[in-house]
Chain A
Amino acid sequence: MNKKIFAFLVFVFIASVPMVSSVNMQKPSINADETSKLKNEVEWDGEFLGGIPKGDNEGELAAVFGGYFKNRNRGGFFAGIWSNEDENKQGEVRGIFGKHIIIGKIINDQGSLPFIGFIKFNNNDDTEFDFIGRAMSIIGPAPYFVGTFSSY
């Protein structure tokens, strides 16, 4: 009987490993002072916060982003800031989003790069993320991103 319980516990432990690692993803955080300068641009409908998980370690984030969004009929537009602490880079991110598509520009001191991608909004409570997507620019990788948002 003890062996069965032990085997069951081992199974539960193994099964819970991926679940735990996804729940324990590093929480993205953005300096509020940086986003505050965007806050008065328009009357925003809400704010978002997200990150780009590192490819080799899902628990850590390669970059974080956060800002504000405004809803329109079938989508909306947004403005925020992004930060990559590993490379000590940061800048702005602006764009528009639809039901499944997101396009925009990432901007920093050196210029701007357009990006395009897919986005999916989660309406269920079975995940900690409100949206997940994948984006790319004309160069560089095409990473996945995840995040949350809250409406005012």
Chain B
Amino acid sequence: MKKIIIAISICVLLLIMPTTISISTKIIKTNKNQDFIKENHFSNENRPLWAQGNFTGYWGLNIVGELYIPLGKIIGYYSIGYHSKLKRVGYFQVDFKEFDDDNVTRLKGFFWGDYMIGKQLYLDSENTTAIAGLGRYNETNSEFFWRVMAIKGPTYFMWGNSAKFN
């Protein structure tokens, strides 16, 4: 009898594992969290002169590009298409914040179509870390997804929605 209970327990454990993984993925894919959009502190009044729009969303760990573990929120500005021949080239600045933590890390860089390069700034020092990324942008719902990495360490994702200033 004991053996049967142990066997059933192991089966249940194994069955739960993929379920847990899929649930964590689903959260980030479906939870739009409108309250974060509302608390967006960016506005037309205090935006940088170069900014054409802003974006909000989430960042987190990205395991093999398939599993998304949200770690915090992002808020940023972007501009795109300064030059008529470089319509897909843009500039961005984004602030990262962990959930329940007020410390902010800033990322600045350029994107060109699917590609992005930039640097992570540490506000308490002059050190910077180079970053590179790949992304997708859905014009229909203004949703973006970026995968980002540094020369070492894990890969991260940024996901959210953008809005163009009037």
A positions within 8 Å CB-CB of B: 100-101, 103, 114-118, 134, 136-142
| From B66, B132, B136, B151, contact of A116 by CB (8 A) | B132
Instruction: Give 9 closest A-B pairs by Cβ, nearest first.
Output: A139-B65, A116-B132, A138-B134, A114-B114, A118-B151, A142-B155, A142-B149, A103-B115, A116-B115
Q: How distant is B130 from chain A, measured CB to nearest CB, in Å?
A: 7
Nearest A residue (CB) for B154: A142
Query: When chains A and B are docked, how far (Å) is the Cα of A137 from the Cα of B132?
Result: 11
Interface assignment of B147: CB less than 8 Å from any CB of chain A: yes
Pairwise interchain contact A116-B134, C-beta atoms closer than 8 A: yes
Interface assignment of B64: CB less than 8 Å from any CB of chain A: yes
Q: How distant is B111 from chain A, measured CB to nearest CB, in Å?
A: 11
B positions within 8 Å CB-CB of A: 64-66, 114-117, 130, 132-136, 147, 149, 151-152, 155
Pairwise interchain contact B130-A114, C-beta atoms closer than 8 A: no
Pairwise interchain contact A138-B65, C-beta atoms closer than 8 A: yes
Nearest B residue (CB) for A117: B132
A118: which B residues are within 8 A, CB to CB? 130, 132, 151
| From B65, B114, B152, contact of A140 by CB (8 A) | B65
A136: which B residues are within 8 A, CB to CB? 65, 132, 134, 147, 149, 155
Q: How distant is B153 from chain A, measured CB to nearest CB, in Å?
A: 9
Pairwise interchain contact A134-B152, C-beta atoms closer than 8 A: yes
Query: When chains A and B are docked, how far (Å) is the Cα of A146 from the Cα of B64?
Result: 20
Query: When chains A and B are docked, how far (Å) is the Cα of A101 from the Cα of B150?
Result: 11
A101: which B residues are within 8 A, CB to CB? 117, 132
